[in-house]
Structure 1
Amino acid sequence: MNNISHIHSCYGCAVCAMACPKKIIDIHLNSNGFYEPYITDESKCVNCGLCLDVCSYTHTETALKEKPKVSYGAWSKEVSVRRVSASGGVGFEIGRYLIEQGYKAIGVKYSLENRRAEHYVAETVEDFIFSMGSKYIQSYTLSGFKGINRKDKFLITGTPCQIDSLRRYICRMKCEEHFILMDFFCHGVPSSHVWHKYVKEQQKVLGLLEFVSWRNKLNGWHDSWAMVLDGSKQQGEVVDWHDFYNMLIKGKKKIVNSRWTQGDAFYNMFLGNNCLGKACYKHCKFKYDCSSADVRIGDMWGNTYATEDKGVTACVAFTERGKKVLMNINCELNEYPFEQVAEGQIKAPITYPLGWSVVIQAAKSSIISMKQLVFISRVVGKINKIIK
């Protein structure tokens, strides 16, 4: 069949489901905890091949053949936005600017009810606030992508692989001029089994979770969204932006800040690189300066802002449309060569680890704790280093 029925362990972007004229493609979590497509009724497939045409996973090159046009170190001129953003707040400012220009913004928010990151459509700046901050888990895209049409204008933010498929889709539909696509320097996505195990253990101590922020720059409790809405400048003690993996979790019983540098179990797994999707290792073609987005954002690590603790966004325009957007947002922009802006970013796909399946099976197991899972992952990591 000329369809995605043979595709497994892909990027899970679900753009194939959008493209299908018969609407017989859906996505679900596979046994390893990653989204992949499936056909709900193969008897209705007409073999048009559209699902494969828009599928980034089935192509060896990126949809956009552009290299960086201009690169900046940047941050929002609004203090409250910069304080609660993962880096400098440029992603939010791009969304705010485009919404004010009549665009709808499709970003990602965390659903406490479903324990997952979900794409959604924001038509107001107030709605878009919920997309602020990084979410280091794979997103369920159909919740937002179903809202895409050819008559409205959209800003869409996603992982590089999601954006590459979307670029193929809007080119196929001949409506590129209605879209601004934004991705980010991507590490990879971990298995949902890891996140669900982590949440389950956190809830035993904290109670039912009410708020999660993966990249928190303040100690103590604060409502990031409220801070932006009311312009608050001082809530909580500021921590160093360079100590960047600082999880803030609020439960009904308790609040906790949990940092990677202090042994947070989720970050140990995520940054240990042994529980990422297979496609993140074997099929990633989007590292460093390879993107199909109009704009790429991330943290500007390296020496340029080594003494800056408030957060700086690395932002790169790959198209003239992206460049024009950056020139109009409410941000301080400082131009640098791409190599300087991208200093510290991963340049090549992470090597697939021997023992990956052992880690994934351990993550699925109900009798293995997060602490034991981290230990197993570290053992796998050491074995891979010895072999390498």
Structure 2
Amino acid sequence: MKNNIGKLKDCYGCGVCTAVCPVKIINLKENAGGFYSPQISNEEKCINCELCLKVCAFNHKELSLQNAIPKSYAGYSKNDIIRQRCSSGGVGFEIARFLIEKGYKACGVRYDISNERAEHFIASSVEEYTPSIGSKYIQSFSQTAFSEISRKEKYFVSGTPCQIDSFRRYIRHLKIEDNFILLDFFCHGVPSMLLWRDYLHNVEKEIGKAGFVSWRNKTNGWHDSWNMNVDPVESNDIDWHNSYNINILEKKHFYQSRWKGGDLFYKFFLSNYCLNKCCYKSCKYKCFLSSADIRIGDLWGKTFKDENLGTNAVIVFTENGAKILEQLKQCNLSPIATNTCVEGQMKKCPSLPLIYRHLLKALGKDEPLQKTFNHIVKPYRLLTIPKRIMNLISYKLGIKLISH
């Protein structure tokens, strides 16, 4: 029996194993639950090198970056347009821009309308990197971009904490770690692609084929930026080279706020009803646990509640990361306390909901998403009202009343 990634179940789906495989028999495929997972295309061609297991963060209890001493900052871009266009303060984009101008290539995530997915891509210029602006609250397909990484060039790579943890193992194996700056972010978890496609197709029944999607929009301010925007224009009508200088969302054909009536995607996602299984039981990257050089996020807590333009939490874990921030003149950065940095962030894995399997079976059939919510989620929410009330009281009082 060959010892390879095929023996793992419910892994992160980071895709790094597809890049390290010397015989290229590992592919990232969507499983029945709507999550990317590695599949062995030809078991007999496996040479039993076990490199896929060596670089796999899911296969290791410890992080690839050990003994890091984090330093925390509040930060935002000095460019008002970039700060407005980005989901938070724009620090992540400014780091990428700084490094691209220093000769690095940048590997980030954009949304691909034609394939209805988020995907990693490699950019050689600031203009090419522009589609990375904005949060994408779905799992990214990383196989193509990660496999195109050259050993001879320098890269800035951003991704989820689990992707970055595996990626550091990969470049360390290749002995090219010094050529990379790695960035991750506070991750809530990734929802099933079945949910995303049901949501998108429901919207398209109202507006026609989508041409542009945005998960966050700060038109009404940073704290009210949880808005889904779907624009029915052709993707080639969007001038990505100038899109961070203009507001391409002026004509919103679908606009739904998390707060006002409640957007269905956010109802599922933020309530953790259909995240990847590993997000419930195997995430080891909360708060200050990271294998990145730099971590970013939103400073959602009480300290910045009156700030409404967008401010990043920025955490530095390595000397290389610290050197980047020292040279980052495009941003305002101020040291903050570590507890301030994680205010409002998810501090531990959520519990697997009792409706999980039933819900995944109901998703992906292009039925009205509201129907799925009404028939499965609403009854479950009624059953959990007492626990949610106790959680709210516990949060307000700052004490632990019940176990999760």
Q: Same fold (TM over 0.5)?
A: yes
Query: Shift of residue 337 of structure 1?
Result: 1.5
Aligned to 1:231: none
- Go from structure 1 to structure 2 and tell me whether the alpha carbon gap of 1:254 and 1:323 turns closer, same or farther (over 3 Å shift): closer
Aligned to 2:267: 268
8 Å Cα contact 1:67/1:289 also seen in 2: no
2:32 corresponds to 1:2: no
Is 341-350 or 28-37 further displaced after alignment? 341-350
Query: Shift of residue 254 of structure 1?
Result: 6.2
**Cα distance in 1, alignment partners of residues 319 and 342 from structure 2:** 20
Q: CA RMSD in A?
A: 1.5
Instruction: Describe how 1:98-109 pairs up with structure 2 within 5 A.
Output: 98-109=99-110
Equivalent pairs counted in the alignment come to 367
2:339 corresponds to 1:339: yes
Aligned to 2:119: 118
Alpha-carbon displacement from aligned partner over 1:144-186 (angstroms, at most 9, x marks no partner): 1122121100110000000000011111111110010100000
Query: Shift of residue 66 of structure 1?
Result: 3.4
Query: Shift of residue 113 of structure 1?
Result: 0.4
**Cα distance in 2, alignment partners of residues 317 and 382 from structure 1:** 42
1:272 is paired with a residue whose SS is coil
Instruction: Describe how 1:115-264 pairs up with structure 2 within 5 A.
Output: 115-218=116-219, 239-252=220-233, 255-262=253-260, 263-264=262-263
Aligned to 1:310: 309
Is 245-254 or 154-163 further displaced after alignment? 245-254
Query: Shift of residue 287 of structure 1?
Result: 0.7
Query: Shift of residue 366 of structure 1?
Result: 3.7
8 Å Cα contact 2:192/2:274 also seen in 1: yes
Is 102-111 or 250-259 further displaced after alignment? 250-259
**Cα distance in 1, alignment partners of residues 181 and 359 from structure 2:** 38
**Cα distance in 1, alignment partners of residues 155 and 379 from structure 2:** 45
Which AA in structure 2 matches 1:118? E
1:209 is paired with a residue whose SS is coil
Query: Shift of residue 303 of structure 1?
Result: 2.1
Runs of 5+ consecutive residues of structure 1 not aligned to the other structure: 219-238
Identical counterparts, % of pairs? 46
Alpha-carbon displacement from aligned partner over 1:318-361 (angstroms, at most 9, x marks no partner): 11111111222210001111211221111111111222101111
1:372 is paired with a residue whose SS is helix
Is 241-250 or 287-296 further displaced after alignment? 241-250
Query: Shift of residue 276 of structure 1?
Result: 0.2
**Cα distance in 2, alignment partners of residues 257 and 365 from structure 1:** 24
**Cα distance in 1, alignment partners of residues 221 and 170 from structure 2:** 40
Which runs of structure 1 show a deviation greater than 4 angstroms over 4 or more consecutive aligned residues?
A: 384-388
**Cα distance in 1, alignment partners of residues 252 and 340 from structure 2:** 41
1:304 is paired with a residue whose SS is helix
Aligned to 2:24: 23
Query: Shift of residue 267 of structure 1?
Result: 0.7
8 Å Cα contact 2:197/2:364 also seen in 1: no
1:144 is paired with a residue whose SS is helix
Aligned to 1:319: 318
Aligned to 2:61: 60
- Go from structure 1 to structure 2 and tell me whether the alpha carbon gap of 1:254 and 1:208 turns closer, same or farther (over 3 Å shift): farther
Query: Shift of residue 2 of structure 1?
Result: 1.1
- Go from structure 1 to structure 2 and tell me whether the alpha carbon gap of 1:254 and 1:99 turns closer, same or farther (over 3 Å shift): closer
**Cα distance in 2, alignment partners of residues 374 and 308 from structure 1:** 34
Aligned to 1:292: 291
Query: Shift of residue 255 of structure 1?
Result: 1.4
Alpha-carbon displacement from aligned partner over 1:165-222 (angstroms, at most 9, x marks no partner): 001111111111001010000000000000000111111111111111111112xxxx
> TM-score, normalised on structure 2?
0.88
Aligned to 1:232: none
- Go from structure 1 to structure 2 and tell me whether the alpha carbon gap of 1:308 and 1:274 turns closer, same or farther (over 3 Å shift): same
Aligned to 1:361: 361
**Cα distance in 1, alignment partners of residues 280 and 381 from structure 2:** 15
**Cα distance in 2, alignment partners of residues 101 and 166 from structure 1:** 22
**Cα distance in 2, alignment partners of residues 297 and 186 from structure 1:** 10
Is 141-150 or 27-36 further displaced after alignment? 141-150
8 Å Cα contact 1:274/1:381 also seen in 2: no
2:255 is paired with a residue whose SS is strand
**Cα distance in 2, alignment partners of residues 207 and 68 from structure 1:** 50
> TM-score, normalised on structure 1?
0.92
8 Å Cα contact 1:68/1:318 also seen in 2: yes
Alpha-carbon displacement from aligned partner over 1:99-157 (angstroms, at most 9, x marks no partner): 01110000000000000001000100001111011000000001211221211001100
Query: Shift of residue 386 of structure 1?
Result: 6.0
1:189 is paired with a residue whose SS is coil
Which AA in structure 2 matches 1:302? G
Which AA in structure 1 matches 2:286? K
